[in-house]
Amino acid sequence: MIPNYWQEFLKYLRSTDFSKAMVLTVAIGSPVGIFIWLGNFEIGTVLAMGALLSSPSDIPGSFRHRNIGVILAASLAGVVSIIMAYASTYLWLVLPLLGLLMFGIAYLAVYGFRASLVAFAGLFAIVLSFANISTEILPWERGLLITGGGLWYLLLSNLWTSINPKHHTEQLLAECLELTAKYLKTRAHLLTETAEREKLQKELFLLQSDLNEKHESLRNLLITARRASGNSNYARKRLLIFIELVDILELAMANPVDYKKMDEVLGEDRELLERFKKLIKRIAFQLDEISVVIEKKKESSTKEIREYLRGIEENFKEVRVLISSENTEKSFLLQNLFDYLEKQGQKINTIVRVLHNLDTREPGLLKNKEVSQFITPQDYDPKLLVENFNFGSPIFKHSLRLAIVVLIGFSIGLYFSFENAYWIILTIVVIMRPNYGLTKDRSKQRIVGTLIGAVIALGIVFVIKNQVVYGILGLFSLTLAFSLLQRNYRTAAVFITLSIIFIYSLLKPDVFNVIQFRVIDTILGAGLAALGNLLLWPAWESQHIKSVIKESISANKKYLEEIDNFYHEKGALPTSYKLSRKKAFLEMGNLSASFQRMTQEPKFKQKELGQLYKIVGLNQTFLSALASLGTFIQNHKTTAASKNFEIFVSHICTNLENAKKGLEETKELKDLDPARTEKAASALLKTYKKLLAERENQLKEEPENDQKDVQLRLQEAQLVSSQVQWLLEISENLQKTIAKTKFS
């Protein structure tokens, strides 16, 4: 059996991060090597710089968007380089121009993530304009060569994509499968590990946030690819697998477990829970196996797949025997859990059938003309620049903060005559983020990584005195640095430091001096970045979390209203339902991420952290209960929604509206009629007891006859009544918790 660490290493070598790093290494190394051979090292260096500057904007998306992004990045880098080169002879002009360009280019991030990476090319070009790598090339020639280097990188990137067009989709889908498996395993541990439940619940929040991001990326990528390729069998299969993965997450969230109640009902009988835990892990393991099959781009063994599915079925049989047929609370609790797992098993089976071309259906999503609503478009209206030009915009504050901190760093470098002082502002540009927590975290990782890299470089330089070896190590370190930037920033910082030191060792004989200044400049730049985020218009999460909570509550309310409408009308699931579900999941992920960022901020800014964690937990539980109710109504033949159900929905919606008002300055709450809701609850309980008595009589009088109809109505009455009462209780707790919380 292959050790885990070796499997992880092989997975890393197969990753898109590593392949992109290899393409970039070739794009950088080839012009340098060719022009050294031709006797013009400087041209090769500037072309390599252009490739380096343009590469960050090469992120997944449609062919058109990728190409436009890289071309804009290359063009911006070229223009900025020309401007800075001509201005560099006038110190009185450099400082104000540096500040204006830093602010203006960083401000382009208002147009989204891809635009922020295009902007990064411009910011990076400003920094490298101070490197004075070229002395003989004219400024306009330098700008054209930088743009040319970016186009050279784009050519190689497109060539690689044409050779391996499915690589990124497979990688992202495999990661999504693996993350879903991890989510299911964490839920499995929640069943039995009572002492670790709070910690595991926090892990679930983070995993759900990561899954939402993966789903959004895959949704955009697969729908766009499907449109481009028409009826491609490959695109159809991948989209079907993605749809099943979204359903698996919804099913998991649709099965919220009241762990306190479960502990009370089961008492000391923990054997069944251990069986359920084993079954969930078996299902999760199957997802892991499928992820490996997709990632390695090989056909899975039908025999192996069938053996795994047979193993899952055997586990189902074991659990089914242990569940009592009595109409007790324990039996219903376990039966619902069993039904949930059986559905998850069916989802796994569907994915396997898709992989083996046994499922030939078309994804229903693509038959809908409103499919574009499921893709989040980016608005490029110039009005966005005007609308965000104020201190209420995080991007505006970040751009202004970045410009000021860069000017301070540059001035310090000039005043103390630091060698390679541009490393200070390079560190600031790379590390500084709109969020304090992320900036602080990256500052620490950058400093630690730089120190480790410096120590390793010192050891190598002491032992080896060969410039050819330095060149090979520099190129090798550069590849590893690029491939690890998104995976492990601290390790990437180690290899960035190594590559810079080894590359400089080819240009300057005094390597120890290079190492010394590299460490000093990095520590200074990282310190300035962290201080800038702390002192200059800091964007604390506590200032924005109210609006994030409000958005999550609004999305949950809309989802509840869509479930209510579908319960009345049934039929095909409307697009509005799917969109409201997507919105609720995304907003919940945003809330979890916002809370997580808040925990990374200074202690004096973590006010009411316990209360906020409770609010996040209540929102999560509410969404889970909603998904449970919606999934049941979708997958079962149900009776007409009663007036009592409507009373509950109305009361819950009012509680949610009051909770939102509790987040506003004016807290005019809507009036409620508790007596009306209590009467509805009593009526629902009465209906449930009536059905229970009816089934018990049937069992006594006709034990061998099929009582499926009564059983289904009984299940509906029990689940719907318990879920709406739980939703009501959660909404009341949410309203009370928000009212008690003192937001800063």
Per-residue model confidence as pLDDT tens digits over 155-208? 998 898 888 777 777 888 888 888 888 888 888 887 777 677 777 777 877 787
Q: Which residue has the higher pLDDT, 223 or 78?
A: 78
Shared domain for 589 and 656, answered yes or no, is yes
Whether the predicted pLDDT of 398 surpasses 80: yes
Asked if residue 377 lies in contact with residue 216, where contact means CB atoms within 8 angstroms, the answer is no
Q: Which amino acid type is present at position 108?
A: L
For residue 705, what pLDDT is reported? Answer: 46
For residue 692, what pLDDT is reported? Answer: 43
Burial class (CB in 10 A: 0-12, 13-18, 19+), 392: exposed
Shared domain for 556 and 436, answered yes or no, is no
Shared domain for 39 and 131, answered yes or no, is yes
Whether the predicted pLDDT of 1 surpasses 50: no
Token pair 């070009």 is found at 125
> What gap in Å lies between CA 109 and CA 117, rounded to an integer?
8
Shared domain for 24 and 87, answered yes or no, is yes
Domain stops at, among 106, 141, 164:
164
214 contact partners, CB below 8 Å, separation of at least 6: 172, 175, 176, 179
pTM over 0.85: no
Per-residue model confidence as pLDDT tens digits over 588-617? 888 888 888 888 777 777 777 788 888 888
Shared domain for 400 and 351, answered yes or no, is no
513 contact partners, CB below 8 Å, separation of at least 6: 419
What's the pLDDT band for 731 if we cut at 50, 70, 90? confident
- Rg (the chain; Cα; Å): 29
| Residue 381, domain member (yes or no) | no
Per-residue model confidence as pLDDT tens digits over 134-148? 567 888 888 899 999
Domain stops at, among 511, 539, 567:
539
* pLDDT, average across residues 51-69: 83
Whether the predicted pLDDT of 128 surpasses 80: yes
| Residue 385, domain member (yes or no) | no
| Residue 384, domain member (yes or no) | no
Shared domain for 310 and 206, answered yes or no, is yes
Shared domain for 25 and 11, answered yes or no, is yes
The domain of 711 spans 546-740
Shared domain for 320 and 308, answered yes or no, is yes
> What CATH number has the domain bearing residue 270?
1.20.58
pLDDT cut 90: percent of the chain above it: 6
> What CATH number has the domain bearing residue 658?
1.20.58.220
Domain stops at, among 517, 539, 561:
539
| Residue 378, domain member (yes or no) | no
Token pair 């506003």 is found at 664
| Residue 415, domain member (yes or no) | yes
Shared domain for 145 and 244, answered yes or no, is no
Whether the predicted pLDDT of 442 surpasses 70: yes
Helices of type H across 602-707: 609-635, 643-661, 674-701
> What gap in Å lies between CA 368 and CA 578, rounded to an integer?
12
Whether the predicted pLDDT of 61 surpasses 90: no
| Residue 386, domain member (yes or no) | no
Asked if residue 289 lies in contact with residue 308, where contact means CB atoms within 8 angstroms, the answer is yes
Per-residue model confidence as pLDDT tens digits over 325-362? 554 556 666 666 777 777 777 788 888 777 776 655 55
| Residue 101, domain member (yes or no) | yes
Whether the predicted pLDDT of 658 surpasses 90: no
| Residue 309, domain member (yes or no) | yes
DSSP string, 681-717: HHHHHHHHHHHHHHHHHHHHH-TTS--HHHHHHHHHH
For residue 329, what pLDDT is reported? Answer: 59
As for how many domains the chain has, the answer is 4
Token pair 């450099």 is found at 94
For residue 693, what pLDDT is reported? Answer: 45
> What gap in Å lies between CA 322 and CA 333, rounded to an integer?
13
* pLDDT, average across residues 231-236: 68
For residue 76, what pLDDT is reported? Answer: 93
Shared domain for 201 and 345, answered yes or no, is yes
> What gap in Å lies between CA 501 and CA 473, rounded to an integer?
10
For residue 407, what pLDDT is reported? Answer: 92
Shared domain for 336 and 425, answered yes or no, is no
Shared domain for 14 and 102, answered yes or no, is yes
